[in-house]
Amino acid sequence: MISITGLNVNFGAVQALRDVSMRAETGKITAVLGANGAGKTTLLRTISGLKEPSSGSIDFEGTALVGQRPENIARRGIGHVPEGRGVIGEFTVEENLRLGAMTAKVNLHEGLDEQYARFPVLGERRRQHAAKLSGGERQMLAMARALIARPTVLLLDEPSLGLAPLVTAQLMHLIHDLCASSGLTVILVEQNASSALRIADNAVVLHLGNVVANDTATTVAADDKLRQYYLGMVE
């Protein structure tokens, strides 16, 4: 479980997160919704150590994450698939996956076989440069690269960005199955709120860096007033 308490994050004079408190429960999907600039990406980047908060704490299974280096947080089993996916275009598909497996204590060949079984298209294209993949394939590669390290927590930043509705649906299905089958904890940042709420257990709604809702996904989905926040209709 990841437990966040009183998190404040600033970019110079601009405060991106204000006193954010939330929890991501083990084996569950917690959706983080909000309009552009609500602070969703900042929240994930602060959890993985890329951004230092000005105050507040992040606790992961009894360990304080604030102040730790991103590489050490990753080695603790927190996988982060960044916005724009971050696959290395100059690397082949397999090199991207090998990099993902690098620091984990997993058998490389078993890991590769497992990911190729899960994403057959990656197996077919293992020797191709990642730059040649389509948007959906890149998303699969980014997911596979995070999963090959067998993380206990997965932070997903806008996985549906730029994907066709059918591909988005498949992706959400996959995330849901992963949680159900392996007890993976997921924090899912999405602009595509309806897709995210369909698979999420809990949902947090951010508005201008403040938590305006923190409840079960069904409750959040049913609240018309909240919808205006994550659809960006409230100024």
Q: Which residue, 30 or 96, is less far from another protein as judged by CB?
A: 96
**Whole-angstrom distance, CA of residue 127 vs CA of residue 147:** 19
Q: Which of 37, 70, 162, 232 binds another protein (CB under 8 A)?
A: 70
Total residues interacting with another protein, rule: CB under 8 A: 24
Q: In angstroms, give the least distance from the CB of 81 to another protein.
A: 8
Residue 161 sits in the site that holds another protein (CB under 8 A): no
The secondary structure of residue 106, as a DSSP letter, is S
Please state whether 96 falls in left (phi above 0), alpha (psi between -120 and 50) or beta: alpha
For residues 98 to 127, the per-residue mask of contacts with another protein, x marking binding by CB under 8 A and - elsewhere, is xxx-xxx-----------------------
Rg (CA), the chain: 17
E strand or H helix at 183, and its extent?
none
Considering only residues 134 to 153 of the shown chain, the ones binding another protein according to CB under 8 A are 145, 149
**Residues in the chain, overall count:** 235
The secondary structure of residue 68, as a DSSP letter, is S
E strand or H helix at 70, and its extent?
helix 70-75
The secondary structure of residue 109, as a DSSP letter, is H
Q: Which of 56, 86, 123, 162 binds another protein (CB under 8 A)?
A: 86
Q: Which of 80, 125, 138, 207 binds another protein (CB under 8 A)?
A: 80
Q: Which of 69, 107, 110, 164 binds another protein (CB under 8 A)?
A: 69
